[in-house]
Amino acid sequence: MKEFELIKRYFTDQVVKRKEVTLGIGDDCALISPPQNQEIAITTDTLVSGVHFPQNTPPRAIGHKAVAVNLSDLAAMGAEPSWISIAITLPKIDETWVNEFCQGVFELCEYFNVQLIGGDTTQGPLSITVTAQGLCPEGTALKRSGATPGQWIYVTGEIGDAALALKHINNEVLVEPAFRESVIERLDYPKPRVLAGQTIRLYASAAIDISDGLIADLTHICLHSQVGANIVLDNLPLSKGMIATMGDHAAELALNGGDDYELLFVVDEANKVGMETALSQLGIAFSCIGQTNNSNKITTTLNDQAVNINTAGFEHFSE
């Protein structure tokens, strides 16, 4: 099969057509006519087989995740996901594989009204790079640099389940059957917090998505905003499966594990009630897990007592 036919067959037909896209897939470039008074948020993330997902991950999950991790970056800025490009490197063309991969991609695109505008298909070791773009009213995007001391630190949802799933897959722990499906779903099919991002944009001072681990990503906010932070471990939102499996080590895994794709954000006292009301009305789960401060470090407390916890974070090149 010819490369061009493959691309044409699987990537050209799609449901979502956005009005800003004046030329879609099939030429040297796509063309966008950007709406006025909006900024464009742009992000790129690569997933490599064996590094960012286990080699036996279902192709539908790989397609989902490749898009989801990028939409999560858009969510962290409070942007509306709009269009994506996909560059995929495949060892060989396996039609079933490509078909299922595309299912994962397009399910998410249709759900969030995102148009695929281009891409590249090449031969080589399996990896996927997505570039995603979103729209945000001018000057309103959430940055990592907006936090000040004394603000409240929040996260959406529950954290650590994706890391727990990875430990289970690698035979480091055994997750009981009752919880297994739900934690593996968190690893394979992360849900980008797009609605939450657009909601907190009106209230939060800074935000980031938790991809490298809660502490690692909070560190980015602290460094960019020049604040310290204390995390109240009592308030960490942990799943039943996490507590049942990890016991006393649950908090440690939740703080260090990556791949959560929840949002971590910082809110001023004055915006606390408004934001909590807005998120509650939309049915979005959130927890207040600590506060920023004047120090230059991240500390943790349990029952109001300082505790030390191993917080290594996740790095690709950790020589």
How many C-beta neighbours within 10 Å does residue 204 have?
24
Residue count of the chain, please give it: 319
When asked if residue 95 is in the footprint of its own copies (CB under 8 A), the reply is no
Residue 42 or 302 having the CB closest to its own copies: 42
Distance of CA 50 to the CA centre of its chain: 19
Main-chain phi, psi angles of 34, to 5 degrees: -70, 140
Please, which of residues 190-209 interact with its own copies by CB under 8 A?
207-209
Nearer to its own copies, 50 or 150 (CB): 50
Site mask for its own copies (CB under 8 A), range 29-68, x = bound: xxxxxx-x--xxxxxxxxxxxxxx----------------
- Please indicate if the annotation marks 211 as binding a ligand: yes
Task: Compute how many residues bind its own copies; rule: CB under 8 A.
Answer: 72
Instruction: Decide: 173 and 167 in contact? Cβ < 8 Å.
Output: yes
Residues numbered 206 to 245 that lie near its own copies (CB under 8 A) are: 207-209, 224
Looking at residues 120 to 179 of the shown chain, list those that interact with its own copies (rule: CB under 8 A).
Answer: 120-125, 127, 129, 131, 133-134, 136, 138, 141, 143-145
Task: Please provide residue 150's backbone torsions phi and psi, each rounded to the nearest 5 degrees.
Answer: 90, 5
Q: Which is nearer to its own copies, 41 or 200 (CB)?
A: 41
| Nearest residue (CB) to its own copies, 90 versus 250 | 90
Give the torsion sign (CA, 242, 246, 250, 253). Answer: negative
Q: Is residue 312 near its own copies by the rule CB under 8 A?
A: no
- Residues facing residue 231 across a β-bridge: 290, 300
Structure tokens at 262: 């929840």
